[in-house]
A and B are shown apart, each in its own frame.
Chain A
Amino acid sequence: MNDIAFSSSSNSKGAPQSLSIALLGSGGSGVMTAGGQLLDAAGQAGWYGMMTRSSGPQIRGGEAAALLRLSPQPVETHKGRFDILLAIDWLNADRFVGEIILDQKSIVIGDSGGTVPEAISKMGGRYVELPLTQLAKSINGGRPNMVALGALAQLIGLPLRALETVLSKSLAKKGQDAIDASIAGINAGAEQASAIPDIPDFAVTPTENQERWSITGNEAAGLGAIRGGIRFVAAYPITPGTEILEWLAPNLKKVGGVLVQAEDELASINQLIGGSFGGTPSLTATSGPGLALMTESIGLAVASETPVVVVDVMRGGPSTGIPTKSEQSDLNIALYGLHGDAPHIVVAPMSIGDCLFTTQWATHLAETLQTAAIVLSDQSLGQTRALIDKPADIAFVSGGRTLTSKSENFQRYVVNDCGVSPMSIPGTPGCQYTADGLEHTPTGTPSSRAEDHIQQLNKRKRKLDQFDYGDHWAKILGEGETAVLTWGSSTGPVREAIAMLEAEGKHVRLISMRLLLPIQPERLAAALQGVEKILVVEQCHGAQFYHYLRAHYDLPGTLRSMAVPGPLMIRPDDVYSELTAWENA
């Protein structure tokens, strides 16, 4: 037992005990494969954890890193520093400086004979060499990534049996020879690592044997869509949202739905409108550039009161920006990007697992309120795989499409108290109407009369304002006169920073808003009762969330903005430092 290496893992600040591992290599070296297998094996062994794939824009080649955090408790964010960095090779490794932070207590492992780049070595850490390539060559069909995987398992005390189970499953299609070669590789790596002196002990108590899932935010959003009733998807590929579409294509088919690859985002959003008009709940997934192209027709969905769901997996912007990295900078376009007065729904998942619930809820809201819902996920949620407890199976009762049989005097856009009017679907006799993006009368006839315009504007606003969104609008945790207001993927690091302060006896309230439109001023005012200081945390250079709050809400006390652009994620330590500095200021 050596107590120098893992002090951060067993920190006393109240954050989850955890171990952070970076597995680095040039493209094709298999670091992503090995990282995924390590995560799955950790899950088999009763751990929680997460893995983020970090790579450059190269299609093949270039640099790649699997960033893992393993813990006996669920984790929703990475830490700043890494306990272990294992590099299969050092090609372009210096590009990860800033993302992978090491200190004196870190262990840095490289292949024998390699040279650690100065940018890495100057951060500190204890350097250990392992003959990864040499050991791989001694095995028929052996690969250095498998040797590395075995070495890591040995270092962190992960039972090799768990790895063998995962390898046997994931390599089943490649045959027994491939499985044997991989298992020989991990055994060789483990044996070599056990010879390293002073290996620290990372004792993990596996939690009880409850059902655990391995899922990315993008897959979770896809499952949420199907659970919400989505049966038509039009798709145009875009990083980092594509995996939602790729998951949905085969899975929609299983449930009798269909995904169509469209020619562009203008087509995909309009195909959704067609699908939805026909009575089939419809969704697409995209990223910022695609959302920008779709905004005209999202307005059409609002005006024609045709339910659609658009999931925007945000990336660094503006323009093409940084497609492979995360940012929360599409908030403004999601809130305000539609021309005219176009009330709609904007929601944001606050964790990887929550991508499921929030997408399902968005579908329910769009369908019930006959409008467009935008889900703001982002790259860090979408492309990170996490081990989570089995998500709850929640069912909503939708009430939007109320009309499936003949109705006398049907008026599609009838003005009523709740603002939601009966919607017939084609095939229903006697209820034919023309859905229109032109302003219209209650029957749907185009009209430019002032009276019709104000009636329909009020109706479309009223139906969203009057709806009871319940407790789902936000997550509120803790008490205290200081509050952190945040949203989306920033919630994870904020929550952990607050836990660190909690361990010091300091109480900070967390308010993470899942529902961003329509605004909920009364609910937020209640949540902020007794608060004297508010820190607003977001991953965005322009402080879009801060300005949104200032524009729409009465906020008590002193306000401070912590607006940090991508591509580097906000870490719990950053929020902790900000809160501590403000307290001491």
Chain B
Amino acid sequence: MDTVTQCPSLKPKDYKSGTKPVWCPGCGDYSVLLAITKAMAEMSLSPENVALVSGIGCSSRLPAYLNVYGFHAVHGRALPVATGLKVSRPDLTVLAAGGDGDGFSIGGNHFMHACRRNVDMTYIVMDNQVYGMTKGQASPTTDPDWDKSKLTPGGTKINPYYPLVIALASGANFIARASSTDPNGAAKVLVDAMRHPGFSFVHMLSPCVTFRPEQKDWKKMVRSAPVEPTTDPAIAAKRLMTDDNFFLGTLYKGDRPAYQPELKATVDNISELDKGFIL
């Protein structure tokens, strides 16, 4: 990642586009945007060599607020768009971002396979345990007894999904949690994630002040994980399975080589391909 042209003089605000976000006042996503710009400035990335791809949802609005190349794709498909981009343009720094519904529900299959494929990119999921853009329905990370949605009266009665555990089991090469309530800490985690080869997954707690106002308390509940990142998947598995969702920091760093086919022609002229058909 350090090989791309660098821009040491840029400040975090230089990575913003100036477009005013659609987010509610107090939304955690503002701080995630800030943390991303801080991380880019810290890494001195040239904006033209960075692309951020998102799906659909409140948090997926993010690319328009950045001064890098962006793709606001359809619901659930940020990861395949990012995969196609990075595999064909390995020179770029590629990030994907979105929410818990986008990434774990409609895009759940892509999440598993992106972890498994291990393309060198960073995936940030802003988790607020609710569908905000459609006005407050339960998501895969919502507790089973959360009963504020008209769509699931009395709660979903379904156990939530544990994204970090699934990321590990699927083969993600880097697993971390950060929180919008601590943008500086989140920026550090993002730098760590972007520098790590392969697929890096950052679970970003980002409260929804409108439909989950109780999440304002997350600020008091989050804390640094009391341990160093492990490189041992077995230790990571135990750590993530017993995790209470509020430990922050890099929790697992794998050493699998990233998936990147070589893009080097072995024939001088495409007419070489004709030979297979000539009788």
Interface residues of A (CB under 8 A from B): 40, 43-44, 211-215, 219, 223, 226-227, 231-232, 234, 251, 253-258, 260, 262-264, 266-280, 282, 296-297, 299-300, 304, 387, 390, 393, 426-438, 444-446
Q: Which residues of B contact A253 (CB under 8 A)?
A: 261, 266
Q: Which residues of B contact A272 (CB under 8 A)?
A: 84
Question: A267: which of B47, B74, B113 is its contact (CB, 8 Å)?
Answer: B113
Question: B273: which of A254, A274, A282, A299 is its contact (CB, 8 Å)?
Answer: A254
Q: Is residue B109 within 8 Å, beta carbon to beta carbon, of the partner chain?
A: yes
Q: Which residues of A contact B19 (CB under 8 A)?
A: 445
Q: Is residue B176 within 8 Å, beta carbon to beta carbon, of the partner chain?
A: no
Q: Is the CB of B279 within 8 A of A426?
A: no
Q: Which residues of B contact A435 (CB under 8 A)?
A: 70-72
Q: Is residue B110 within 8 Å, beta carbon to beta carbon, of the partner chain?
A: yes
Q: Which residue of B lies closest to A426 (CB)?
A: B69
Q: Is the CB of B84 within 8 A of A260?
A: yes
State A299–B76 Cα separation when bound (angstroms): 15
Q: Which residue of A lies closest to B106 (CB)?
A: A266
| 21 pairs, CB–CB < 8 Å, chain A vs chain B | A213-B278, A232-B88, A254-B273, A260-B83, A267-B79, A273-B81, A274-B88, A275-B88, A277-B84, A282-B84, A282-B88, A300-B73, A304-B71, A426-B92, A427-B91, A427-B92, A433-B70, A434-B17, A434-B69, A434-B71, A437-B73
State A430–B272 Cα separation when bound (angstroms): 39
Question: B279: which of A214, A251, A271, A297 is its contact (CB, 8 Å)?
Answer: A214
Q: Which residues of B contact A445 (CB under 8 A)?
A: 19, 64
Q: Is the CB of A271 within 8 A of B265?
A: no
Question: A277: which of B46, B81, B266 is its contact (CB, 8 Å)?
Answer: B81
Q: Is residue B51 within 8 Å, beta carbon to beta carbon, of the partner chain?
A: yes
Q: Which residues of B contact A43 (CB under 8 A)?
A: 279
| Binary contact readout B15-51 vs A (1 if CB under 8 angstroms, 0 otherwise) | 0010100000000000000000000000000111111
State A280–B92 Cα separation when bound (angstroms): 13
Q: Is residue B202 within 8 Å, beta carbon to beta carbon, of the partner chain?
A: no
With contact pairs A267-B113, A446-B64 given, residues A426 and B87 touching in the complex (Cβ less than 8 Å):
no
Q: Which residues of B contact A432 (CB under 8 A)?
A: 47-48, 67-70
Q: Which residue of A lies closest to B48 (CB)?
A: A429
State A91–B132 Cα separation when bound (angstroms): 61
Q: Is the CB of B73 within 8 A of A273?
A: yes
State A444–B84 Cα separation when bound (angstroms): 21
Q: Is the CB of B278 within 8 A of A211?
A: yes
B113–chain A nearest beta-carbon distance, Å: 4
State A81–B277 Cα separation when bound (angstroms): 29
Q: Which residues of A contact B263 (CB under 8 A)?
A: 231, 256-258
Q: Is the CB of B109 within 8 A of A263?
A: yes
Q: Is the CB of B49 within 8 A of A426?
A: yes
Q: In B72-117, which residues have CB < 8 Å from any A CB?
A: 72-74, 76-77, 79-89, 91-92, 109-110, 112-113
Q: Is residue B267 within 8 Å, beta carbon to beta carbon, of the partner chain?
A: yes
State A508–B81 Cα separation when bound (angstroms): 49
Q: Is the CB of A260 within 8 A of B81?
A: no
Q: Which residues of A contact B68 (CB under 8 A)?
A: 432
Q: Which residues of B contact A444 (CB under 8 A)?
A: 64
With contact pairs A433-B70, A437-B72 given, residues A271 and B83 touching in the complex (Cβ less than 8 Å):
yes
Q: Is the CB of A215 within 8 A of B277?
A: yes
State A271–B79 Cα separation when bound (angstroms): 8
| Nearest 6 Cβ contacts at the A-B interface | A274-B84, A271-B84, A434-B70, A256-B265, A270-B80, A274-B85
Q: Is residue B9 within 8 Å, beta carbon to beta carbon, of the partner chain?
A: no
Q: Which residue of B lies closest to A303 (CB)?
A: B74
Question: B277: which of A213, A267, A300 is its contact (CB, 8 Å)?
Answer: A213
Q: Is the CB of B267 within 8 A of A255?
A: yes
Q: Is the CB of B71 within 8 A of A255?
A: no
Q: Which of B49, B53, B85, B112 has the most CB of A within 10 A?
A: B85
Secondary structure call for the A interface: mixed
Q: Which residues of A contact B109 (CB under 8 A)?
A: 263-264, 266-267
With contact pairs A278-B92, A426-B48, A432-B68 given, residues A254 and B272 touching in the complex (Cβ less than 8 Å):
yes
Q: Is the CB of A434 within 8 A of B77?
A: no
Q: Which residues of A contact B67 (CB under 8 A)?
A: 432
Q: Which residues of A contact B113 (CB under 8 A)?
A: 262-263, 267
Q: Is the CB of A277 within 8 A of B85?
A: yes
Q: Which residue of B lies closest to A429 (CB)?
A: B48
State A280–B48 Cα separation when bound (angstroms): 17
With contact pairs A270-B84, A274-B81, A445-B64 given, residues A296 and B74 touching in the complex (Cβ less than 8 Å):
yes
Q: Is residue B271 within 8 Å, beta carbon to beta carbon, of the partner chain?
A: yes
Q: Which residue of A lies closest to B266 (CB)?
A: A254
State A475–B70 Cα separation when bound (angstroms): 42
Q: Is the CB of B63 within 8 A of A434?
A: yes
Question: B89: which of A214, A278, A296 is its contact (CB, 8 Å)?
Answer: A278
Q: Is residue B227 within 8 Å, beta carbon to beta carbon, of the partner chain?
A: no
Q: Which residue of B lies closest to A273 (CB)?
A: B81
Q: Which residues of B contact A254 (CB under 8 A)?
A: 265-267, 272-273
Q: Is residue B270 within 8 Å, beta carbon to beta carbon, of the partner chain?
A: yes
Q: Is residue B135 within 8 Å, beta carbon to beta carbon, of the partner chain?
A: no
Q: Which residues of B contact A256 (CB under 8 A)?
A: 263-266
Q: Which of A270, A275, A282 has the most CB of B within 10 A?
A: A270
Q: Which residues of A contact B86 (CB under 8 A)?
A: 274
Q: Which residue of A lies closest to B70 (CB)?
A: A434
Q: Which residues of A contact B85 (CB under 8 A)?
A: 274-275, 277-278, 426
Q: Which residue of B lies closest to A270 (CB)?
A: B80
Q: Which residues of B contact A275 (CB under 8 A)?
A: 84-85, 87-88
Given contacts A255-B265, A426-B92, 15 further A-B contacts (CB under 8 A): A43-B279, A215-B277, A223-B273, A227-B270, A234-B80, A260-B87, A267-B113, A270-B73, A274-B82, A277-B71, A278-B92, A297-B73, A429-B48, A436-B72, A445-B19
Q: Is the CB of B48 within 8 A of A431?
A: yes
State A427–B77 Cα separation when bound (angstroms): 23
State A547–B80 Cα separation when bound (angstroms): 36
Q: Which residues of A contact B66 (CB under 8 A)?
A: 434
Q: Which residues of B contact A267 (CB under 8 A)?
A: 77, 79-80, 83, 109-110, 113
State A435–B71 Cα separation when bound (angstroms): 5
B199–chain A nearest beta-carbon distance, Å: 14
